[in-house]
Amino acid sequence: MIAFLTGKVAEKTGAYAVLDVGGVGYCVAMSTGSLAALPAEGDEVTVHTYLHVREDEMSLFGFDNVAEKALFGKLITVSGVGPKVALAALSSYSPDALVDAIAREDVALISSVPGIGKKTAQRMILDLKDKLGVPGEIGASTAGSATVDAATAAREALLAMGFTSPEIVSAMKGYDGAADDTQAVVKHALRRLGGGGVR
């Protein structure tokens, strides 16, 4: 599985970006929020990715941050929600807003996403409410639970990348940055994992 790509932005459209990685152009479908966060064409960027493989097609989906990728991974576990529908949901609402809607069982909001009807929205709530927990597990929602939420979201993201729980526990040790910055926690862990600092 392709976990991430680092390369230059060769092209941006309203639905996807093309990344030039060592002379190879990767077409990556992204949410509107992630596309907006990309730098200008010609600049280098790292995009977290999910490779969807079918018998007749391979599609690459990209994300500006690991929290969005983690939520995408949970959305596609719901029957009737494929990668394209999950991306439409992330283009319609932020990860925090989607988690909040699922927690509040807001069928109307969820079913307003293109490709998601009332029954699918109800299935999403049923399947994901317990997995996602309270709003804030994807992004910190309250100051009082910021540290716990950031750590939880970081663990979820690293698990989605394929790391084991023991590896993640070791990799997250020694983090001394902002307690509510999920991305900073993940970057710290990835540096240790990639640099051989985890034993």
CATH number, domain with residue 22: 2.40.50.140
Tokens of 148: 């716990």
The domain containing residue 49 runs over which residues?
Answer: 4-63
Out of 79, 100, 132, a domain closes at 132
List the beta strands (DSSP E) in the chain. Answer: 4-12, 16-21, 24-30, 44-53, 58-63
b (16+ CB within 10 A) / e for 72-103: bbbbbebeebbbbbbbbbbbbbbbbbbbbbbb
Is 175 a member of any domain?
yes
Which alpha helices (DSSP H) does 116-194 contain, by range?
Answer: 118-132, 146-160, 165-171, 182-194
Judge if 70 and 59 occupy the same domain: no
* CA 135/CA 4 separation, integer angstroms: 26
Does the structure show a pLDDT above 80 at 179?
A: no
In total, the chain counts a number of residues equal to 199
Report the number of distinct structural domains present in the chain: 3
The pLDDT tens digits for 70-126 are 999 999 999 989 999 999 999 999 888 898 899 889 999 999 999 999 999 999 999
pTM recorded for the entire structure: 0.65
